[in-house]
Amino acid sequence: MLHAIGALLVFQLAGEAISQLLGLPVPGPVLGMALLFAAMGAVPALAQRMRDTANALLQHLSLLFVPAGVGVMLHAQRVAAEWVAIVAAVVVGTAITLVVTALTIKGCIRLLGSGDAGGDA
C-alpha cells in the first residue's frame, strides 16, 4: 500500500513540475492524473497493483471534504450575507452545464449517427 501511495504522489509531483516548468494553465494534479492514466494504459500490471490502495482511499474519500466544510463554517457570516449570489451562481452554472452537455450529446449523435434505426433513444 505504501508503494502505491508513493506512486500516486510521484505522479502528482511530476504533473506539478511539468505544469510549473512549462507554464501550462492546467493544474499539476490534473496532469499527474493524466500521466498516471497513460502509465496504467501502457503497463496494465500497474493498475492491478494500485487497485487495493485506490479502493481504500475511495472508502475514506468523505474525510477529504472535512477541510472544505470547516472552511465554509469559518466563513459562515459571509456565506449568510451573500447566499443569494451563491445560489444564483450554482443554479445558473448548473443550467448552463446541462444545456452545454445536451447540445454536445446532440452534436455527437448527429456527427456519429445514433445507430438506432427506430429513433427511440
From first to last of its 121 residues, what are the pLDDT tens digits of the chain?
889 999 999 999 999 999 999 999 999 999 999 999 999 999 989 988 899 988 988 898 888 788 888 888 888 899 899 999 999 999 999 999 999 999 999 999 999 986 565 555 5
Q: How far apart are CA 81 and CA 78, in angstroms?
A: 5
Please name the helix (run of DSSP H) or strand (run of DSSP E) that holds residue 72, with its range, or none.
helix 66-74
Domain residue spans of the chain? 1-59, 66-121
So what's the pLDDT on residue 66? Answer: 84
Gyration radius (Cα) of the chain, Å: 21
- Whole-number pLDDT of residue 19: 94
Is the torsion defined by CA of 21, 4, 58, 35 positive or negative? positive
Give pLDDT, residue 119: 52
Q: C-alpha grid cell for residue 27?
A: 493544474
Which pLDDT value is given to residue 109?
92
- CA distances from residue 24 to 6, 29, 88 in whole angstroms, order as listed: 24, 12, 31
